Structure 1
Amino acid sequence: MTGNDSSISQVAQSGLVVTVPEAEPAVRAWRDRLDPSVPSGMPAHVTVLFPFLPESRFDGDTLAAIADVIGRHKAFEARFEGCGRFPGVLYLAPEPAAPFRALTEAVVDRWPETPPFGGQFAEIVPHLTIAQGQDDTILDEAEAGLRDGLPIVTRVASVDLMVHDGSRWRQRASFALG
């Protein structure tokens, strides 16, 4: 989850993510060094929506509503063949990006009080963060080091609800795509 992940240590924050375990062999060493969300337990992922609802809102009805929204979308395959950048950030860009955007838009349509990254950015850019808060020299090094591990292919079949307990991210629930 990029958009100032280093400050996401508040208790009860949540996010919806697509974990990408297939990426771990290629990205883990870089993320361990360069992504501040790793020490708090966030796996390699593409963010669907962050921040999402506070943990106190996750009752049975809300979890059922999330499952309904996510379940309306079909499972799909995504490939990560290259990198992209935001200022100080290196990420892997998923193709196709449209299904990730559609998931984000559907969740925001249902919970409009939860704009992606708090409304900081005008465009939804699906991405798997490798490094953040780094200068271009470090990002160049990481990007060069990732090339041999690409492409990465994953089947996106679920979205995980992650909740921060004050020190670590933990999976609260997982929702299957249709």
Structure 2
Amino acid sequence: MTTDENAARRRLGAAQQATDPGDTPLVGYTVLQVPVPALETFVRGRFEHYDRAYVSPDPAFTHAHITALAPFLPAPDPAALDTVAAIAAAAEPITFTLRRLETFPNGIVYLAPEPADPFRALTEALVAAFPQCPPYGGEFPDVVPHLTLDQLSADVSVASTRDALGDTVPVTCVADRVDLAWYQPERSRVLASFALG
């Protein structure tokens, strides 16, 4: 076990025990996500626009990401962390391009990574190891790897999102890790990182 893994487990314990001043447990959840630093400025800006409570003060936290599995276990134990580390180690770093904007039926505007299959394979491996954690709670039958950018509205369209991105895309990136992120108002942060390959 590495020093980083020990530190991650301490942070996980602290996250699970966090309470507010009234001793009411604070609600949070974990996500296994692949950070995409190249889009961080844009995506963090959208977090600041929509919900500042989820803007993380943790410099290791990357708001721009491609979800590998969410929600993940609420309290991953050491064996679960070791399993995630092994799955990540068995996957190669992923070189991918972000250029194509798409929308989901619910109006989410996203960038589709190309190729998508390595991300899909990572999710499939995680789901096989953690069948109690279906992607998005089983709400969507087909997992579509994506990087969320915005939500369609009277002020937001695919065209306006493309314009706002400017020359940020197209961009070629290398995914080299999976982060275990904790999402909680005012307390979002990275709990652990697992290298790909």
Whether TM exceeds 0.5 here: the answer is yes
- CA-to-aligned-CA distance 1:77-99 (integer Å, 9 cap, x gap): 11101211012211111111101
C-alpha displacement of 1:59: 2.5
Most deviating of 71-80 and 146-155 = 146-155
- Residue 103, structure 1, aligned to residue 119, structure 2: no
Are the counterparts in 2 of residues 80 and 153 from structure 1 also a CA contact under 8 Å? Answer: yes
Larger radius of gyration: 2
Q: In 2, Cα distance between the equivalents of 1:37 and 1:149?
A: 23
- Specify whether residues 50 and 37 from structure 1 end up closer, same or farther in structure 2 by C-alpha distance, changes over 3 A only: farther
Secondary structure, in 3 states, of the residue corresponding to 2:182?
strand
C-alpha displacement of 1:31: 4.9
C-alpha displacement of 1:30: 4.4
Identity of aligned residues (%): 38
> Which residue of the partner structure matches residue 92 of structure 2?
74
Secondary structure, in 3 states, of the residue corresponding to 1:126?
coil
Secondary structure, in 3 states, of the residue corresponding to 1:78?
strand
> Which residue of the partner structure matches residue 4 of structure 1?
none
Q: Which runs of 4+ in 1 moved over 3 A?
A: 25-32, 36-40
Alignment of 1:1-178 (within 5 A): 11-34=27-50, 36=51, 39-41=54-56, 43-55=63-75, 58-86=76-104, 87-132=106-151, 134-135=152-153, 137-140=155-158, 141-178=160-197
C-alpha displacement of 1:139: 2.3
AA partner of residue 146 (structure 1) = L
The two structures, once aligned, show a CA RMSD in angstroms of 2.1
Q: In 2, Cα distance between the equivalents of 1:49 and 1:124?
A: 10
Q: In 2, Cα distance between the equivalents of 1:37 and 1:122?
A: 31
The unaligned stretches of length 5 or more in structure 1 are 1-9
Secondary structure, in 3 states, of the residue corresponding to 2:79?
helix
Most deviating of 93-102 and 167-176 = 167-176
- CA-to-aligned-CA distance 1:32-78 (integer Å, 9 cap, x gap): 435x48834261111001101012xx222221111011211111211
Aligned length: 165
Are the counterparts in 2 of residues 17 and 49 from structure 1 also a CA contact under 8 Å? Answer: yes
Are the counterparts in 2 of residues 16 and 160 from structure 1 also a CA contact under 8 Å? Answer: yes
Secondary structure, in 3 states, of the residue corresponding to 1:138?
coil
Q: In 2, Cα distance between the equivalents of 1:38 and 1:157?
A: 28
Q: In 2, Cα distance between the equivalents of 1:28 and 1:12?
A: 19
The unaligned stretches of length 5 or more in structure 2 are 1-25, 57-61
Are the counterparts in 1 of residues 54 and 188 from structure 2 also a CA contact under 8 Å? Answer: no
Q: In 2, Cα distance between the equivalents of 1:15 and 1:64?
A: 16
Q: In 2, Cα distance between the equivalents of 1:75 and 1:98?
A: 13
Are the counterparts in 2 of residues 53 and 114 from structure 1 also a CA contact under 8 Å? Answer: yes
